[in-house]
Amino acid sequence: MNVISQQVTICNKLGLHARAATKLAQLSQKFSAQITLELAGKEADASSIMALMLLAGGQGKIVNITAQGEDAQLALAEICQLISDKFDEAE
């Protein structure tokens, strides 16, 4: 099984709040890969809005994203891009 991971810093002002978590979950659901976010020893399924919000990922926090499955590479790339793009939010 293809398992890859990458660390990325949350750089938007509000962090992993409701709108950002929703965007991330919707993006994750497009892939067949299993995607997990890990922050400060807590893990969350990237397709679950509630789980993502419970991570309390604030600005400047580093999250480790792990993807496994057929389209893991693409899923990881797109999720890292979304976070790097500050969830497309105007700050």
Catalytic-residue membership of 17 = yes
CA 74, 43, 22 angle in degrees (round to 5)?
60
Q: Which of 4, 14, 17, 58 is catalytic?
A: 17
The CA distance from 14 to 31, in Å, is 26
With a CB cutoff of 8 Å and minimum separation 6, the contacts of 5 are 64, 65, 66, 67, 76
Asked if residues 27 and 82 have their Cβ atoms less than 8 Å apart, the reply is: yes
Residues involved in catalysis: 17
